[in-house]
Amino acid sequence: MTVTGKIIPHLWFDTQAKAAAEFYVDAFPNSAVQHLTVLRDTPSGDCDLVTFTLVGQTFQAISAGPFFPLNPSISFTVHCATAEEVDALWARLSDGGMALMPLDAYPFSPRFGWVQDRFGVSWQVILSESPAEATQCIVPSLMFTGDNFGKALEAIHFYTSIFPDSTPGKVTLNPGEPGSADAGTVMTANFALAGRWFAIFDSGHAHGFTFNEAISFIVNCGTQAEIDHYWEQLSAVPEAEQCGWLKDKFGLSWQIVPTSMDGLMREGSPAQVASVTQTFLPMKKLDIAALERAYHAAA
């Protein structure tokens, strides 16, 4: 099996990537670990890189050191068709974790809970049957807080202008009193990027966290021109550019990578994987031709 999807969530762990992937695959139905690659001799030492799917959504996870603590600024909303599904998934994800919003009835759903699991990843489990979620069970949710508060609507327009097959969805604004801090900010909204749904909202509370590299989004690119396009449009923090990683103007991290990278790392011999790894480590924007030369030179 190969990595599927234009945009794929990527989770950064200290040492727990393999254990986390196995935990999630066991918790979600119709899920599987696809592949485990070991990246050797990186600045973080030897790193496990795990690809897995959860009910149709591909994820990648890496064990690369205790540098980026996970936080709820990015969570994953899981849309369930029955209350029984909600309860079963909540029981698994909350085991050893911490409830951020208890499992209960809320005005927006008869069955909902928000939990940070034992590995630090946040999940919103909800009974929902809206059209957007009918074909996508897991939806990444972006919380715009701190310096990003009030910029969620701007972000929707920004992201949908960059990716093909993208569209704004339903937007509900906060009805705050005129002049109040939250008036006109996004209470809840969704949008599609490259055919995949995201959720987004503003939060003016003093959470003490915002986006970091713990959760990023991989963008699979078929050509160097495509890599160049996303790099030019998204990168806004030069010091964050490394190994195909970048940060946009909201601080959200993206990895702009060639679609062929999965095959190189999955099918290559240990020598080829090592050659590709040592070639991309000093790069900022990835160079497809250079990576493929390194792969074939080590054959």
| Domain with 256 in it | 222-299
pLDDT (0 to 100) of residue 184 = 87
Please tell me whether residues 172 and 260 are part of one structural domain: no
- Res. 21: pLDDT tops 80: yes
Nearest-angstrom CA–CA distance, 229 and 250: 18
Please tell me whether residues 120 and 235 are part of one structural domain: no
Report how far apart, in Å, the C-alpha atoms of 66 and of each of 39, 63, 213 are.
17, 9, 11
Domain-located, residue 32: no
Domain-located, residue 233: yes
Beta sheet of 98-106, edge-to-edge order: 98-106, 109-116, 122-127, 74-80, 138-144, 196-202, 186-193, 167-173
In this structure, the dihedral spanned by the alpha carbons of residues 77, 136, 91 and 18, taken in order and rounded to 10 degrees, is -90
Give residue 244's region: left, alpha or beta (phi > 0; psi -120 to 50).
left
Would you say 247 and 236 are in contact if contact means Cβ atoms under 8 Å apart?
yes
What is the torsional sign of CA 219, 221, 225, 227?
A: positive
pLDDT (0 to 100) of residue 3 = 40
pLDDT (0 to 100) of residue 133 = 46
Please identify, among 168, 202, 236, the residue that sits at the C-terminal boundary of a domain: 202
Do the bridges between strand 215-221 and strand 32-42 make them parallel or antiparallel, or are there none, so unpaired?
A: unpaired
Short-list 87, 95, 71, CA closest to 126: 87
Domain count, the chain: 2
CATH of the domain at 252: 3.10.180.10
Please identify, among 167, 202, 237, the residue that sits at the C-terminal boundary of a domain: 202
pLDDT (0 to 100) of residue 130 = 63
- Return the bridge partners of 285, or none: none
Please tell me whether residues 154 and 185 are part of one structural domain: yes
Domain-located, residue 170: yes
Residue pLDDT, tens place only, 245-296: 999 999 999 999 999 998 898 889 999 999 999 999 999 999 999 999 999 9
The reported pTM is 0.94
> Tokens in use for 177?
């009193």
Region 3-17 average pLDDT: 89
Domain-located, residue 67: no
In this structure, the dihedral spanned by the alpha carbons of residues 186, 196, 84 and 172, taken in order and rounded to 10 degrees, is 20
Nearest-angstrom CA–CA distance, 233 and 80: 35
Domain-located, residue 262: yes
- Return the bridge partners of 172, or none: 188
Please tell me whether residues 253 and 167 are part of one structural domain: no
Domain-located, residue 215: no
Residue pLDDT, tens place only, 39-83: 999 999 999 999 999 998 999 999 999 999 999 999 999 999 999
- Res. 197: pLDDT tops 80: yes
Q: Which residue has the higher pLDDT, 130 or 5?
A: 5
Please tell me whether residues 79 and 196 are part of one structural domain: yes
Helix 288-297 / helix 224-234 crossing angle, nearest 10 deg: 130
Domain-located, residue 101: yes
Residue pLDDT, tens place only, 105-143: 999 999 999 999 999 999 999 998 664 445 689 999 999
CATH of the domain at 98: 3.30.720.110
Cβ neighbourhood burial of 69 (10 Å; 0-12, 13-18, 19+): exposed
Residue pLDDT, tens place only, 162-187: 999 999 999 999 987 766 778 889 99
The residue type of 224 is Q
Count of CA atoms in the C-beta half-sphere (13 A) of 7: 22
Residue pLDDT, tens place only, 133-167: 456 899 999 999 999 999 999 999 999 999 999 99
Please tell me whether residues 86 and 160 are part of one structural domain: yes
